[in-house]
Structure 1
């Protein structure tokens, strides 16, 4: 790991700078959508609002890994939420690392920042959803999941997503001879 990398919260002036990183895990994402998401996540980090109407304080944000010159090499978004089994958890999403030479080092820096953040926020567990690109489709090893495993994380669930903006092609068909709207 390169000691020149440091984990820091994303600053408001860095939102546009982080856009290419996010596009690596969300190709085609509109810049305005990213700006709105990032602004909302950063607002939750400062306003102390409540998450989903619960009594648990909402703490959200975006953590980055930067080099000494301020270039972004990775990030994740997070929120503190209640969980049935673990109590207060840090939910991590949009985990991305972009670097040609030290993918594992940057990932480890993000993972250590994630754990430190969870401990400071009084969380009992960290739940991370990794983008599809980090799921190995063949027998080759992938440095991102490997870093999670070596830092003590384990796979606990499988996360599914149904995009409701696309046509629901698995809806049950109407019985023969009946009209859809009777």
Structure 2
């Protein structure tokens, strides 16, 4: 049976539910900080190429099964790219499907923003957006060409 997912910008009712994913992988951000981080994203009506956007995947039962943070960036080596410092997927039955849904949205966003690559950061708590310890450079994650 095919499973459909709703993928898009985070909604107010998904903020607390998506926090469980962020917390589960060890990012050192509290619930209040997560709420504050998401507040600006929820207040915007449209995705913005100049700020961080929070993207969620919700299954047919209303569970948030994926979350990512995206922002347009620049690399001296690769040019304009879509930076994804957070990419978290969790599913008991269809991890691949959730991952494909989220990655498909991310790649489509990169294409719409005229990015040549998507850079998905390694899962490291220090890669949290705004952290002073964020590792910079082209070797900090997986590069996916956008066609």
TM over 0.5: yes
Give the shorter-chain TM-score range: 0.7 to 0.9
**Rg larger for:** 1
Distance 1:65 1:47, change over 3 A: closer
- TM-score normalised by L of structure 2: 0.73
Structure 2: 5+ residue stretches without partners:
126-136, 142-147
Give yes or no for the alignment of 1:159 onto 2:140. Answer: yes
Q: 1:72 aligns with which of 64, 67, 72?
A: 64
Pairing of 1:17-28 with structure 2 (within 5 A)? 17-26=17-26
Report the structure, 1 or 2, having the larger strand content.
2
Distance 1:123 1:158, change over 3 A: closer
Distance 1:108 1:23, change over 3 A: same
C-alpha contact 2:3 2:60 (8 A) present in aligned 1: no
Larger RCO, structure (CA 8 Å, separation 6 or more): 2
Deviation at 1:63, TM superposition (A): 1.3
What is residue 91 of structure 2 aligned with on the other side? 99
Distance 1:122 1:43, change over 3 A: farther
Structure 1: 5+ residue stretches without partners:
49-56, 134-155, 161-182
Matched residue of 1:13: which SS?
helix
Matched residue of 2:115: which SS?
coil
Aligned CA RMSD, in angstroms, stands at: 2.8
Number of corresponding residues: 130
